[in-house]
Amino acid sequence: MKKEKESKDGDLMEKMVSLCKRRGFVFPGSEIYGGFAGTYDWGHLGLALKNNIKQAWWKKFVDSRRDMYGMDAAILMNPKVWEATGHVANFADPLDGKQFNTMLKTSVGARKDEVSVSYLRPETAQGMFVNFKNTVDAFHPKLPFGMAQIGKAFRNEIAPRDFLFRQREFEQMEIEYFVRPADWEKYFEYWRGEIRSWMEKIGLDMNKVHELEVAKEDRAHYSSRTIDFEFDYPFGKKELFGLAYRSDFDLKTHKLEYQDEENGEKMILHVIEPTFGVDRAFMALLLSAYTEDPAKDGASEKEPRVYLKFKPNIAPVICAVSPLLKNKPELVKYAEGKVFVPLKAEFGRVVWDDNGNIGKRYRRQDEIGTPFCIVVDFDTLEDNTVTVRDRDTGAQERVKVEELKNYLKEKIL
């Protein structure tokens, strides 16, 4: 039984990696030169999905709040930062009995006497801490408040593996939330709920999400409490996101005080850090969305129907527009001028698909998770309605062309 499950899960992983490449989501990095371990390149559809994930995150955690300040710090930072934070001494994994520092080293500067060793940041977090004072001086935030950043991070992982799970170059979405020392537990619980609510919102399968209270000996050197949000990947239950209580570790290290503008009280704030890996979110979302319906008896449908059940707000393509027949100019003209062009201008993530028969088009769109396929047929020319076909149920309904924009807007909410 277990063997059967393992091979089914292994299959799923293989199917996902192959779909990602074949349909233009994710390609192995530098592939035509034999690849480059721990790197992947993003194709048109993968990039669209990734951008939607990041936008959904930014919307919930930055744009819809009053207490959050966005950042986009440089990836290259003064190496003193990493010495101060303990990363130079502690950011290491065991290799052949010794500790191997996994920060990615690089040298900066041209002339010999100017060259210094620096690191590509292993977390986006420090870009926010070193701008704590700048942010307080610029915005005068009241407590509690947070800083948020999305950006690349680099780690010279000893054994990159499991597709996007462990890479050497990846992306993080992080929040540093600054609270009074006495309030940390309250906000730790608060962020625990916020993380879960975002996961649900983007459409992760919550039955596959588990929380793990990380034991002291397994926590990062800066953390006084960590909860890992784990996901059931085909290769096992592993970390997806994290929530850490970094206490006063960072602001004390950088000697950054906060002064309450109302009563003049000075203090070192404590930090709650919800951290999200973009690439792991992407993979977990694909695994949550991947669905196979058994082949129907008879007819031409011998292969199972594969579709990605993305929520419309996250799907890389919202809808595909087709003329029923591509050799009928009146259908093509209508489909392009009255449906495709206006929808494309409104939503952007709209494609034109007139290849093969309608059944093939549906299958192709199912496989990339397009929630709606719109078909212009001969009735359209008479009554200005089109067929809208739902990806998950296969159900079709007639919608007035003039109502299409609102129809889709409601679905995307």
Binding residues for ligand GAP (CB under 6 A): 123, 125, 155, 157, 166-167, 170, 172, 174, 239, 241-242, 273, 275, 277, 279-280
Angle at 116 (CA atoms; ends 114, 121), nearest 5 degrees = 140
Q: Enter the tokens of residue 413.
A: 């909410």
With respect to ligand GAP, which residue has the nearer C-beta, 283 or 331? 283
Q: Which residue, judged by CB position, is nearest to ligand GAP in the bound state?
A: 277
With respect to ligand GAP, which residue has the nearer C-beta, 233 or 372? 233
Angle at 33 (CA atoms; ends 32, 37), nearest 5 degrees = 105
Query: CB of 173: closest distance to ligand GAP in angstroms?
Result: 9
Give residues with Cβ within 8 angstroms of 45, minimum separation 6.
23, 24, 25, 316, 317, 368
With respect to ligand GAP, which residue has the nearer C-beta, 232 or 273? 273
Question: Strands 266-267 and 258-259: what pairing?
Answer: antiparallel
H helix runs in 165-255, sequence order = 184-202, 249-253
Query: CB of 241: closest distance to ligand GAP in angstroms?
Result: 5
Query: CB of 124: closest distance to ligand GAP in angstroms?
Result: 7
Query: CB of 273: closest distance to ligand GAP in angstroms?
Result: 6
Is the sign of the CA dihedral 232, 235, 237, 241 positive or negative? negative
Residue linked to tokens 């977990």: 284
CA dist 399 and 369 (Å) reads 21
144 prior amide bond cis, ω within 30: yes
Question: Strands 145-154 and 68-71: what pairing?
Answer: parallel
Give residues with Cβ within 8 angstroms of 340, minimum separation 6.
321, 350, 352
With respect to ligand GAP, which residue has the nearer C-beta, 126 or 365? 126
* Residue 353 neighbours by CB distance under 10 Å: 23
Query: CB of 155: closest distance to ligand GAP in angstroms?
Result: 5
Query: CB of 110: closest distance to ligand GAP in angstroms?
Result: 31
Query: CB of 125: closest distance to ligand GAP in angstroms?
Result: 4
With respect to ligand GAP, which residue has the nearer C-beta, 141 or 274? 274
With respect to ligand GAP, which residue has the nearer C-beta, 214 or 306? 214
With respect to ligand GAP, which residue has the nearer C-beta, 170 or 307? 170
